[in-house]
Structure 1
Amino acid sequence: MAGEWGPDGADCAVAVTFDHLGEAAEIQLGSIAPDAPVGHHHSVTRELPALLAMLDEHSYSATFFVEAWNFRNYPDAVRAIAEAGHEVGWHGWLHEPWHRSSAAEIAESLRLSLDVFGELGVRPRGARPPAGLLGPHSVDVLAEHGFDYVSIAGTAFGTTLGSAARLPLLPYPWHAVDGAYYVPGFTRLRQPPGEEPVGPAGLLEGYAAIVDDTAAAGGCVGLIFHVPWQDSPDRVAAIGTLVDRLAADERVWLARADEIADWVRDHPADFPETAHTDRAPAW
């Protein structure tokens, strides 16, 4: 990896990103019925406003990867994210897991998504396939539908270019997901794996180690938070603490995901084309 990132030549690039909104993932998982009443999900009415206020206080423009279903069901929330100066990325239509989806299912997800992008007038540049894995599907599928970078799980601390489409692939390791610190069952994703949640202090410690490794490798990394899981003031405050620490770290270029992708694209000699292979979490 190149050792200089951003206008000040930092050792690494870091993006703080958010996933999920509304009932989309719950409908996909079957925990609520597809025809259940929607429109008042706590992630929209409570967590999202608190996060937007916190990010404004800490002067950071983040990336929110949102299921496109929300463009139709929570258009005001999607607009609020964009109007606050944050990037809106794509996280599937209804959080369908790409690595377990057929080509026809992926095509339908993209068709529905493109329709609502036009309706709302907000067009995501970046894609994060739900569950972070492409499975048998190519990065080229996303390029053909107008996306110009992809956020992928399983490739730690580097940034490569996709094969035919040459889309920047912005990585995150599994232990850079907040559930590894907060949610029972996900804690085995930590390094080293754990059995119990460790809370915001443990998350900050784990993310600090990830940033150290990323800086040593001269790469980039996405740090992931799920909007519905930021359901207490201490969790929201921890993100503010993280942003402040990253902004003050001379090794780090703290940027949005699209800004990092543009840097990769504008410096092709530093990022040779490399094929990507999904790597599922070690459960």
Structure 2
Amino acid sequence: MTASEERDQATQRHPWQWEEAEWRGVVERVRAGRSLKPDVWPQGARAAVALSFDTDHETIPLRDGQTGPGKLSQGEYGARVGSPRVLALLERRSIPATFFMPAVCALMRPQEAREYSLRGHEIGIHGWIHERNMELDPKSERDLAFRCADTLERVSGQRPVGIRTPSWDFSDHTLDISRELGLLYDSSLMADDDPYEILADGEPTGIVELPPEWIRDDDIYFEMDRYSPLRPHGMPRQVVGGIWRDEFDVAYEEGGLFQLTMHPHVIGHRSRITVLEELLAHIEGHEGIWYATHAEIARYVKDQAKRSTESSS
């Protein structure tokens, strides 16, 4: 019986009925391998800082079939106001960033996608229309992933080398698709604070994981839905100047990676972009900071791991 057949069989019964081989197979399907945290960052930097922005814009309501102007206008804010504010902040401080962009957003506003590339930022895959890939059959998930990569390359002039799956969902087929695409890294899994190599059924894949975390995501603190219990439960300075600042301080102390996931329609509001700039001022008050795109970090840690392996053999 193949590993896939064992997983299918296991899902047809209660977990307490699973044989050890079944639950082990489920757990080991996609796993964290060796740590890729380097001994030293470029130019002797103490810590690496990776800022990322998921430019979802209108795709969240569109994905759910919500066509009312109200919800769409919240997404439009991200493109109309949030992204320009983010770009201006990054330019003022000469910081490179990674923009994970649904292909529909790139098609809707091709100049925005090109602008990211022209300003030296990275563009990564973030679904076609922010679809829920856990609900897709393998063929549909694969087709959309390849269409995303091709569309982003055509529109922005930059071939994506990394992916952040919409909502960080990871199906049984996501890793296989990323490997077929020849991607350098993923940024959807959360098994560490620092970079690591992804394993597939216990075997190294060569794909670097740059782990995000919900506590380092602006959406969980600031999002609001008037027709559900979802309400903002964090003041900007409590989150950015408190939780995120503490996350950076420990990352700096440990000599690791500080990664943030933000959204222009969330972080781009006046009160939030202000405290984000205050956080960046705090970071820049430390010696030895390497600001880099996700791709730059993935390439560096992978190269360092290769050098370390060769020197020890």
Q: TM-score, normalised by structure 1?
A: 0.81
Change in CA separation of 1:8 and 1:231 when aligned onto 2, cut-off 3 Å: closer
Q: Which residue of 2 aligns with 1:124?
A: 160
Q: State the aligned residue count.
A: 261
- For residues 201 and 245 of structure 1, the distance between their equivalents in structure 2, rounded to whole angstroms, comes to 15
Q: Would the alpha carbon gap of residues 271 and 264 (structure 1) be closer, same or farther in structure 2, given more than 3 Å must change? A: farther
**Which of 242, 248, 251 lines up with 1:211 in the alignment?**
248
2:41 is the counterpart of 1:6: yes
Alignment partners' CA distance in 1, 2:143 and 2:77: 28
**Aligned residue number for residue 155 of structure 1:** 191
The answer (yes or no) to whether the contact 2:55–2:105 under 8 Å persists in 1 is: no
Match of 2:58 among 23, 40, 43: 23
Q: Select the residue among 159, 173, 198 that pairs with 2:235.
A: 198
Aligned CA RMSD, in angstroms, stands at: 2.8
In structure 2, the partner of 1:89 is: 124
1:113 equivalent to 2:153? Answer no
Gaps spanning 5+ residues in structure 2: where?
A: 1-34, 226-230
Shift in Å, 1:184: 5.0
Provide the secondary structure at the position in 1 that maps to 2:172. coil
Partner of 1:279: none
Asked whether 1:169 is paired with 2:204, we answer no
**AA aligned opposite 2:291:** L
Q: Which has the larger radius of gyration?
A: 2
User: Gaps (5+ residues) in structure 1?
Assistant: 186-193, 273-283
Tell me the secondary structure at the aligned position of residue 275 of structure 2.
helix
1:99 and 1:211 map into 2 onto residues whose CA distance is 32
Where 1:94 maps in the other structure, the secondary structure is: coil
User: d(CA) in 2 for partners of 1:81 and 1:244?
Assistant: 23
1:76 corresponds to which letter in structure 2? Q
Residues 233/118 of structure 1: CA separation in 2 closer, same or farther (3 Å cut)? closer
What one-letter code is carried by the residue in structure 1 that aligns with 2:240? Answer: L
Alpha-carbon distance in structure 1 between the residues aligned to 2:72 and 2:89 = 29
2:292 matched to which residue of 1?
Answer: 255
Alignment check: 8 A CA contact 1:58 1:240 kept: no
Distance 1:258 1:157 in 2: 17
2:114 pairs with 1:74 = no
User: Over residues 72-106 of structure 1, what are the superposed CA-to-partner deviations in whole Å (9 max), with x where a residue is unaligned?
Assistant: 11101111111122111111111112334331221
The equivalent position to 2:170 in structure 1, one of 134, 137, 146, is 134
CA contact (8 A) 1:139 1:167 kept: no
**Structure 1 runs (4+) greater than 6 angstroms displaced:** none
Alpha-carbon shift at residue 118 of structure 1 (Å): 4.5
Separation (CA, whole Å) in 2 of partners of 1:114 and 1:152? 17
Could you tell which deviates more after superposition, 92-101 or 127-136? Answer: 92-101
Q: Distance in 2 between matches of 1:146 and 1:165?
A: 11
Q: Secondary structure at the match of 1:41?
A: helix
- Whether contact under 8 Å (1:58, 1:244) holds in the other structure is no
Residue 242 in structure 1 maps to residue 279 in structure 2: yes
Deviation at 1:235, TM superposition (A): 1.2
Residues 210/128 of structure 1: CA separation in 2 closer, same or farther (3 Å cut): same
Over 3 Å counting, the alpha-carbon distance change for 1:184 and 1:45 in structure 2 is closer
- Alpha-carbon shift at residue 65 of structure 1 (Å): 0.6
TM-score by length of structure 2 reads 0.74
Structure with the bigger percentage of helix = 2
Shift of 1:203: 2.2
In 1, Cα distance between equivalents of 2:54 and 2:263? 5
